[in-house]
Every structure is written in structure tokens, then in C-alpha cells.
């Protein structure tokens, strides 16, 4: 399928590893140029830069100024056609919801919600200047399946889904489509890294990280985690004009993890 993405300029946040790196690679494969934001680059991203398909911008997207710096770098390359708000992180908190401090709430919401608000606010004038385009948010099943031990992350992802739908209503008439994806567990360092969710759950419950992974996987009808590549394929499709009348949608990619309609 030709996705008509050749020559498009795409901004991807959280592009250095995991889902964001797979999204970056998928856009490059489709012929787009990616302006890739994260705090630190990686060998994989450096290889794409060396090939001329990617420009890495070092930015802390949880700060007020980080998103604007990333968008300015993309604008300097000619404009923006697609924005993927993907940066995010989760820290499990096992001392109960009442123990979550203001600082922890603010930190979680700054990265998982406000970074997308700020990046989108800076990017939309550039997308409009190109005659329209597409925005995709990396949400989570935790927007509709909130958990007590990731209360701040769950609330941030719910806010992100709401924000995306509001955006789709205002900017649909001007040619910008806005959609979200809602992954269940995905095989990245967020889950599987040394300090990932599996390790945190294992330590809190006196089980092994492998058992924590097996337990999460068993919650999916397919019995397995989603791969970053599978998420990336969905994002690229939603971003492309092959999904031309899809807007305001949240598409689950969770192996059947969410058990409701
Ligand atoms: N993995 C899952 O099971 C899963 C499920 C549902 C939703 N998601 C969502 O998918 C997205 C990507 O997650 P992932 O699993 O790919 O995680 P990951 O492997 O940990 O990658 C996270 C990316 O975000 C970047 N990032 C983190 N903090 C940042 C900051 N302050 N400023 C700029 N960039 C920052 C990281 O780069 P630096 O650290 O270098 O900044 C990295 O590129 C997140 O929004 C996450 O909530 C993941």
C-alpha cells in the first residue's frame, strides 16, 4: 500500500527507543523525514541520522520550553505534516494513592499529558501552513483501565485521549485529523527494562520479572505483548491519508486486553 508519505516532514516525540524508535523507522521506510525528539540519542537513531533520514533534537519534553525547541527545529526544515506525541513514562507507586505527592503528580502529568499539549500547540500553526495534516497520540489502555498503583499515569493518559478528541473537533474543518492509539503491554524497556514495570511489580510482590511479564501477557486474549513494530505500523497508517476520514478515534492495539466493547 502506498501511504503517500514520501517527502513528508514528521515530528516524533520519545523517538530514541521503544515505540517511538519503531515509529521513526516506519516513517523513514515510508519515505518521510523525521525530526526526532528525546533527551538522549541512541545508536539506532544516530544510524538513521547518518543516512540523512532523521534529525535528532535533544529536548526535555516535560519542560515548558522543550516542545517549542523541537517544533522550531522541524519548522526550520520546511514545516510539519505529521506530529506523533509519543513521549511518556510510568513509575509504579505501591504506597497507595494518598501517598502520591504533588511533585509526583506534576511530574507524571508534565510528561504524559502537558508535553503533548505544548508540542501540539507549537506545531499546529506549521501543520496548517502546509494545508493540513495529521496528529497521532500514543495513549494507553490505562486511560480506560486505570490502576491504583499507576494512578497519575492513568489519569494523564485519560486526559490525553480527551484532549485529542477536542482537538479533532476544532481542527477537522481545517484539514487536521487527530487520533489516538491505546496500546496494552508492549515489549519495550518501559515494561522489560532493568527498572521497568516488570521489575517494579516483581520487587513489590516477591515474584520474578518473568512471572510479572507472564501474568500481564496472560491478560491479553492473544496471550502475548504487542511489539513496537506492530504499534508503529498502526501509527503510520493513522498518520497517512489512507486513513483519510478517520479522526477523533482511539484505536486499541492490546491483543484483546480490554474486555469491554
Ligand atoms: N510499553 C508499553 O507497554 C506501553 C503501553 C501503552 C502505552 N505506552 C506508551 O508508549 C509511549 C512510548 O513508551 P515506550 O514503551 O516506547 O517507552 P520507552 O522505551 O521507555 O521510550 C520512551 C521514550 O520517551 C523518551 N522520553 C522519556 N522522557 C522524556 C522526556 N522528559 N523528554 C523527552 N523524551 C522523553 C525516551 O527518551 P529519553 O529517555 O532519552 O528522553 C524514549 O525515547 C509512552 O507514551 C508510553 O506511555 C507504552
Give 153-176 pLDDT, tens digit per residue.
999 999 999 999 999 999 999 999
**Cα angle 112, 117, 119; round to 5:** 100
- Cα of first residue to Cα of last residue in the chain, in angstroms, is 29
Listing DSSP states for 203-250 in one string gives: HHHTS-HHHHHHHHHHTSTTSSPBPHHHHHHHHHHHHSGGGTT--S-E
CB 178 within 8 A of CB 135: yes
Q: Which domains does the chain have, with CATH numbers?
A: 9-184+227-253 (3.40.50.720), 188-225 (no CATH)
Active-site residue among 27, 56, 153, 191?
A: 153
Give 165-205 pLDDT, tens digit per residue.
999 999 999 999 999 999 999 999 999 999 999 999 999 99
- 153 is an active site residue: yes
CA 212 to mean position of chain CA atoms: 23
Using CA atoms, how far residue 54 sits from 17, 21, 87, 231, 249, in Å, is: 14, 11, 17, 20, 28
Q: Whole-structure pTM over 0.95, yes or no?
A: yes
How close is the Cα of 4 to the center of ligand 1, in Å?
A: 27
Grade residue 12 by pLDDT with cuts at 50, 70 and 90. Answer: very high
C-alpha cell belonging to residue 37:
525528539
247: left (phi over 0), alpha (psi -120 to 50) or beta: beta
**Whole-number Å distance between alpha carbons of 103 and 83:** 28
143: DSSP letter: G
- Which pLDDT value is given to residue 138? 99
Give 48-65 pLDDT, tens digit per residue.
999 999 999 999 999 999
For residue 183, list its beta bridge partners.
253
**Whole-number Å distance between alpha carbons of 24 and 247:** 21
For residue 204, list its beta bridge partners.
none
Give 91-120 pLDDT, tens digit per residue.
999 999 999 999 999 999 999 999 999 999
**Whole-number Å distance between alpha carbons of 141 and 144:** 6
Give 220-246 pLDDT, tens digit per residue.
999 999 999 999 999 999 999 999 999
Q: Residues with beta carbon inside 6 Å of ligand 1?
A: 14-20, 38-40, 60-62, 86-89, 111, 138, 140, 183, 185-186, 188-191
Amino acid at each position: 500500500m502506498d501511504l503517500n508519505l514520501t517527502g513528508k516532514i514528521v515530528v516524533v516525540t520519545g523517538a530514541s527507543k521503544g515505540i517511538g524508535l519503531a515509529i521513526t523507522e516506519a516513517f523513514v521506510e515510508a519515505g518521510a523525514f523525521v525530526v526526532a525528539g528525546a533527551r538522549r540519542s541512541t545508536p539506532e537513531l544516530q544510524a538513521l541520522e547518518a543516512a540523512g533520514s532523521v534529525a535528532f533534537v535533544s529536548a526535555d519534553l516535560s519542560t515548558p520550553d522543550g516542545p517549542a525547541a523541537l517544533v522550531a527545529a522541524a519548522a526550520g526544515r520546511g514545516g510539519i505534516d505529521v506530529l506523533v506525541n509519543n513521549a511518556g513514562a510510568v513509575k509504579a507507586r505501591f504506597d497507595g494513592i494518598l501517598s502520591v505527592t504533588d511533585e509526583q503528580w506534576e511530574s507524571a502529568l508534565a510528561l504524559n499529558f502537558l508535553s503533548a499539549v505544548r508540542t501540539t500547540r507549537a506545531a499546529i500553526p506549521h501543520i496548517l501552513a502546509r494545508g493540513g495534516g495529521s496528529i497521532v497520540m500514543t495513549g494507553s489502555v490505562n486511560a480506560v483501565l486505570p490502576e491504583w498503583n499507576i494512578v497519575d499515569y492513568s489519569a494523564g493518559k485519560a486526559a490525553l485521549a480527551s484532549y485529542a478528541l477536542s482537538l479533532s473537533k476544532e481542527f477537522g474543518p481545517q484539514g487536521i485529523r487527530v487520533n489516538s492509539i491505546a496500546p496494552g503491554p508492549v515489549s519495550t524497556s518501559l515494561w522489560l527494562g532493568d527498572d521497568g514495570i516488570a521489575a517494579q511489580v516483581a520487587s513489590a510482590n516477591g515474584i520474578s520479572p518473568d512471572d510479572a511479564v507472564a501474568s500481564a501477557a496472560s491478560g491479553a486474549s492473544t496471550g502475548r505483548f504487542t511489539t513496537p513494530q506492530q504499534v508503529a505500523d498502526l501509527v503510520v497508517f493513522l498518520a497517512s491519508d489512507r486513513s483519510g476520514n478517520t479522526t477523533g478515534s482511539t484505536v486499541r492495539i492490546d491483543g484483546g486486553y480490554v474486555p469491554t466493547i
